[in-house]
Amino acid sequence: MAHFEITPRQARERQRQGALLVDIRQAHERASGQAEGALGIPKDELEAEHARHLQAPDAAVMLICQSGQRSAATVQVLRAAGYTDVHSVAGGTTAWIADALPLVRPRLDADEADFLERYSRHLRLDEVGVEGQRRLERSRVLLVGAGGLGSPAAFYLAAAGVGHLRLVDDDVVDRSNLQRQILHVEAAIGQAKVESARERLAALNPRVVVEGIRERATSANVEALLEGMDVVVDGSDNFPLRYLLNDACVKLGKPLVYGAVQRFEGQASVFDAGRHRGRCPCYRCLFPEPPPPQFAPSCADAGVLGVLPGIVGLLQANEAVKLLLGIGQPLAGRLLQFDALAMRFREVRLAPDPQCPVCAPGRPFPGYIDYARFCATGG
């Protein structure tokens, strides 16, 4: 143990003798419990404004964090600033609890306590934190399809705390869905998928508003479905709907998180041409024309490994969360392909098509088309 470290029991004794104990963790960390009598001052604030919070430079001060690492670092900062009697509690709050020393919980209202406890692992990430988590709670995501891809995506978006999920699907739960569509259970067979999904997601995270719309997305209603949404997640299983969502997202400037699966292979990408014309491709840049129907059978015809939609759907949820938080590098301009049998990922770079009929810079929106006919004839 370093010379500036003391044990929790030593800290408790010095506290009784008048030494100041300061918990330098963030407020959300202290919500689960802090050493009795400790004053809560976040690390960054204490280091930047130590003169405002501490007494004379020779005053007895002890710092405690979660494991002792942050408090040890701050001790060095304070000693360099002239404080001569400052120590770190070795092992932090974890060791304090292990020694059965008294712990208290800050007084919080029920909603704040739920927020801090539910999202505690997010809050510890510098890339998320309280501000990012509040941003997720204000976010709105349209998820088209509550099936194989939509199930895992919806589960993890709800768990992550996305405030409003709008689920669109006109189908009902069938027993054959249960092999991969994990939002649904045996008792939901015959129930509308959006209602089944709403019940499961509400049970997982009651803080999330789940809006179920039992309709098929069409040219007539697609813009109303996208209204007010921050991100669109494509959980569809057919080409007409993929082209429709792409065209609408380009027109309205919404990022589209794409996913597709068949047999043992899946793929995912982000199409963000609506917000980044000429820099990011759209779905039509990848597939200018749909493949002939005989070369693109549905999962009902070709089959699909049950876990595959889960893998791809989670990739979609990951991309959606990154887009909402504005962190990381989205899959825009990249197509991620996954082979479940070989357990291999492959990335293909995608460039925007300067002649794309929908997203080419300066090109006016051409209008919606008969997508079913377009796909039935292979373009």
pLDDT digits (tens, 9 = 90+) for 204-258: 999 999 999 999 999 999 999 999 999 999 999 899 999 999 999 999 999 999 9
The topology (CATH level 3) of 139-376 is Rossmann fold (3.40.50)
Average pLDDT for 103-130: 91
What pLDDT score was predicted for residue 293? 62
| pLDDT at 295 exceeding the cut of 60 | no
pLDDT digits (tens, 9 = 90+) for 178-196: 999 999 999 999 999 999 9
Whether residue 213 contacts residue 225, with contact meaning beta carbons closer than 8 Å, is answered with yes
Model confidence, pTM = 0.86
From 299, 356, 359, 375, the catalytic residue: 299
- The answer to whether domain 5-107 has CATH 3.40.50.300 is no
What is d(CA 228, CA 232) in angstroms, rounded to the nearest whole number?
Answer: 11
What is d(CA 313, CA 317) in angstroms, rounded to the nearest whole number?
Answer: 6
> Could you give the C-alpha distances from 71 to 27, 35, 75, 125, 157, in angstroms and in order?
15, 14, 6, 18, 34
| pLDDT at 294 exceeding the cut of 60 | no
Would you call 299 a catalytic residue per the annotation?
Answer: yes
Domain boundaries, the chain: 5-107, 139-376
What pLDDT score was predicted for residue 297? 65
Residue 58 neighbours by CB distance under 10 Å: 11
Q: Which of 91-100, 146-155, 219-228, 294-303 has the lowest mean pLDDT?
A: 294-303
Paired sense of beta strands 103-104 and 34-35, if any: antiparallel
For residues 298 and 335, which has the higher predicted lDDT (pLDDT)? 335
Averaged pLDDT score across all residues of the chain: 94
Query: Based on the number of CB atoms within 10 Å of its own CB, is 52 exposed (0-12), middle (13-18) or buried (19 or more)?
Result: exposed
Average pLDDT for 91-106: 94
What pLDDT score was predicted for residue 378? 64
Does 5-107 match 139-376 in CATH topology?
A: no
Helix, strand, coil % over all residues of the chain, rounded to 5: 40, 20, 40
